[in-house]
Amino acid sequence: MKLDDLQATLGVRFNDPALLLEALTHRSYLNEHAGEELSDYERLEFLGDAILEFITGEMLFRRFPELDEGELTRLRSALVRTEALAELARAVDLGDHIRMGKGEIRNGGRNRDSTLCRAFEAVVGAVYLDQGVDAVRDLVIPRLTTLQHKVIQEALNKDPRSRLQEWSQAELEIVPDFVVKSVTGPDHDRRYLVEVQLNGVPIANGTGNTIRSAGQEGAANALRQIELGLIDMAALRDASG
């Protein structure tokens, strides 16, 4: 593993290379080097995740004054999701530089989206500690800008049901249920009432002349409540227990 090569690719020269080395150390490597004083990247990942959320939100806020809160949130989520950050990690060959156990390597760990995403977040955390937030901006904003052109239309145009599914899988590790509660009207003018549930907890309703349209309206209403902070996340997580 040549740290000089990675630093050249990143465009960052660390004052404390030990920070970069920590950011590149997978937990499995520690398991195989128990006698050494080592730390894995998980604490730096925690820090980097928060910094990326902030910098990405700031960038989008300044670039898209016409977008509302919900649209900005969807764009930010698209840019910092696991698959997107893994793509940024692959662009700098980060997987080749991660220190990991032999078993993890054999199982494809160097190319796993979740591992690459977490390592990239850890590198961001390391850059922040080493050189501050401006250095992080220099590192990530050009890369996020390139990625932005790829994901922006997908993020803004995605239908409410798909967006709700993505959110619930990310936050609760479940998919929402769409339950038909009633069907009214004559055959030529049916009206469907669909209830959106998360972990069996009713969140919102939608109506429409097809089950699909009622579900889309219900998902849009659920997303609106989420964006307004009206969803009791603790209760939803307890319901899954």
Q: Which of 40, 49, 87, 130 is catalytic?
A: 49
Q: Are 163 and 71 in contact (CB under 8 A)?
A: no
Give yes or no: 71 in active site: no
Q: Which of 22, 45, 87, 121 is catalytic?
A: 121
Give yes or no: 154 in active site: no
Active site residues: 49, 121
